[in-house]
Chains A and B, each alone.
Chain A
Amino acid sequence: MDRRHFLRHAGLSGLGLGLAGLCPGQVHAQLQTRTQAPTHRGQEVTSAPLTQDAQLAYPFHGRHQQGIVTPRQATGMVVAFDVLARDRDDLEKLLKILTARITFLTRGGEYPQRDPRYPPPDSGILGPSVPPDGLTVTLALGDSLFDERYGLADARPRHLQRMTGFPNDALDAARCHGDLALQFCANTADTHYHALRDIIKHTPGLLMVRWKQEGTVPLLPPAPGDVEGSARNFLGFRDGSANPSIEDEALMDALVWIGEAHDEPAWARGGSYMAVRIIRNFVERWDRTPLHEQESIFGRRKMSGAPLSGSREQDIPDYASDPEGRITPLDAHIRLANPRTPETENNRILRRPFNYSNGVERNGQLDMGLLFICFQADLDAGFISVQKRLNGEPLEEYIKPVGGGYFFVLPGAIDDRDFLGRRLLEATA
Chain B
Amino acid sequence: MKPHQHLIAAATLGLLPLAAQAAVSPDALVGPIAEYKLYVLDNLEQFVDHTEKFTAAVEAGDLHNAQALYAPTRVYYERIEPIAELFADLDASIDAREDDYEQGVKDPDFTGFHRIEYGLFHEHSTEDLNAYAERLMSDVNELDHRVQDLTFPPETVVGGAAALMEEVAATKVSGEEDRYSRTDLWDFQANIDGAREIFTLFKPLAAQEDADFVKRVDDNFDDVETTLATYRVDADDPDAGFESYDEVNKNDRRALAGPVTVLAEDLSTLRGLLGLN
Q: Could you list which residues of chain A lie within 8 angstroms of chain B, going by C-beta atoms?
A: 82, 84, 86-87, 89-90, 93, 97, 112-115, 117-119, 121, 201-206, 208
Instruction: List residues of B (234-277) whose CB comes within 8 Å of A's CBs.
Output: 254-255, 257-259, 261-262, 264-265, 268-269, 271-272, 275-277
B265 near A90 (CB under 8 angstroms)? no
User: When the two chains form their complex, are residues A90 and B8 in contact, meaning their CB atoms are under 8 A apart?
Assistant: yes
Chain B window 1-41, contacts with chain A (Cβ cutoff 8 Å), 1 for yes, 0 for no:
01011011011111011111000000000000000000000
**Using Cβ atoms and an 8 Å threshold, which residues of chain B touch A82?**
254
7 A-B pairs besides A202-B13, A205-B258 with CB distance below 8 A are A84-B257, A86-B7, A86-B258, A87-B2, A112-B18, A117-B271, A204-B264
Cα–Cα, bound, A118→B271 (Å): 7
Nearest to A201 among chain B residues (CB) is: B13
| Contact yes or no, B271 A203, CB < 8 A | no
Q: Do A204 and B261 have beta carbons less than 8 Å apart?
A: yes
Report the Cα distance A407→B164, complex, angstroms: 36
**A–B Cβ pairs within 8 angstroms, 10 of them:** A86-B258, A87-B2, A90-B4, A90-B8, A114-B19, A115-B18, A118-B16, A121-B13, A205-B8, A205-B220
B267 CB to closest chain A CB (Å) equals 11
Range class of the B interface residue count: 20 to 34
Q: How far is the CA of A204 from the CA of B275 in the complex (A)?
A: 24
Q: A123 to nearest B CB, angstroms?
A: 13
Contact (Cβ within 8 A) B14 A204: no
> Are B11's CB and A204's CB within 8 A?
yes
Contacts of A121 in B (CB 8 A): 13-14
Within 8 Å CB of B14, what residues of A? 112, 121
Q: Would you call A89 and B257 a contact (CB within 8 A)?
A: no
In the A-B complex, the 3 residue pairs with the smallest Cβ-Cβ separation, listed nearest first, are A118-B272, A84-B258, A117-B272
What residues of A have a CB within 8 angstroms of the CB of B220 in the complex?
A: 205
* Residues of chain B contacted by A89 (CB below 8 angstroms): 2, 5
A90 to B8, CA, bound (A): 7
The minimal Cβ–Cβ distance linking B216 to chain A, given in whole angstroms, is 10
CB distance from A403 to the nearest CB of B (A): 19
Question: Which residues of chain B have C-beta atoms less than 8 A from A86's C-beta?
Answer: 4, 7, 255, 258
> Which residue of chain B lies nearest to A111 when distances are taken between CB atoms in the complex?
B14
Closest-CB distance, A182 to chain B (whole angstroms): 16
Report the bound CA distance from A86 to B256 in whole Å.
12
A206 to B13, CA, bound (A): 14
* Alpha-carbon separation in the docked complex, A204 to B9 (Å): 10
User: Are B265 and A201 interface neighbours, CB within 8 A?
Assistant: yes
Which A residues are CB-close (under 8 A) to B17? 115
Q: Which residue of B lies closest to A198 (CB)?
A: B13
| Bound: A279/B181 CA distance, A | 37
In angstroms, Cα B12 to Cα A97, docked, is 8
A201 to B13, CA, bound (A): 8
Distance in Å from the Cβ of A125 to the closest Cβ of chain B? 17
**A121 closest partner in B (C-beta):** B13
Closest CB in chain B relative to A71 CB, distance in Å: 32
CB within 8 A of B259: which of A114, A115, A119, A205? A205
